[in-house]
């Protein structure tokens, strides 16, 4: 089970470790956007710059957790209730206030990106049952009609109303029930 980027990672892991995975549940994510191979040199240059020359910067310190919530909402447009939950588990108290405790390298460029054919082969290798919960206003909704949906033959797609973090909000009970039903299916 993986949400968002975790869904992408879960999909890749299920493809390469197929004997160890019995099913796949993806929360508003599945694959990264297909990469245009013509941008390979630019991507590698960005990766080299980020890891070779980018100086780690100190995380911004917020006076109160609510200030971090406001900043997250302003920067991403995220639902306030979801931002409050993410902030509660993503900050730490330090001298002078609170700061994000996530790894800044998560924002660095990747060395490796997948083109459409790579993604077709990854999804085509998946034979295990899969469930994609696609939020109407989330990431998965953007590729719900992409040909990639057919590349994973054992994938069931369930569409739910809501934002990218709907599994943390009012739809959480509905989504949990749907996942449990999927796991209990013969």
Cross-strand bridge partners of residue 3: 27
Q: According to the model, what pLDDT value does residue 144 have? A: 65
* CA atoms within 13 Å, Cβ hemisphere of 184: 6
At 8 the pLDDT is 93
Beta strand residue intervals within the chain, DSSP E: 2-3, 24-27, 61-62, 91-94, 97-100, 130-137, 155-163
Q: What's residue 102's pLDDT?
A: 83
Phi-psi region of 51 (alpha: psi -120 to 50; beta: other; left: phi over 0): alpha
pLDDT on residue 104: 78
Q: How, if at all, do strands 130-137 and 155-163 pair?
A: parallel
Confidence at residue 96, expressed as pLDDT on a 0 to 100 scale: 93
According to the model, what pLDDT value does residue 148 have? 83
| Predicted model pTM | 0.83
Mark the ranges of the chain whose per-residue pLDDT is less than 70: 56, 141-144
């Amino acid at each position: 089970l993986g949400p968002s980027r975790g869904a992408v990672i879960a999909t890749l892991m299920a493809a390469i470790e197929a004997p160890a995975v019995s099913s796949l549940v993806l929360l508003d994510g599945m694959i990264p956007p297909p990469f245009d191979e013509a941008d390979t040199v630019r991507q590698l240059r960005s990766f080299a710059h980020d890891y070779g020359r980018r100086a780690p910067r100190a995380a911004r310190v917020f006076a109160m957790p609510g200030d971090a919530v406001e900043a997250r909402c302003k920067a991403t447009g995220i639902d306030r209730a979801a931002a409050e939950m993410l902030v509660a588990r993503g900050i730490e108290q330090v001298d002078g206030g609170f700061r994000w405790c996530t790894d800044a390298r998560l924002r660095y460029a990747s060395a490796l990106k997948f083109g459409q054919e790579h993604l077709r082969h990854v999804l085509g290798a998946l034979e295990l049952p899969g469930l994609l919960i696609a939020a109407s206003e989330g990431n998965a909704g953007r590729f719900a009609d992409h040909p990639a949906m057919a590349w994973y033959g054992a994938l069931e797609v369930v569409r739910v109303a809501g934002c990218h973090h709907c599994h943390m909000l009012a739809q959480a009970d509905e989504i949990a029930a749907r996942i449990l039903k999927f796991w209990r299916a013969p």
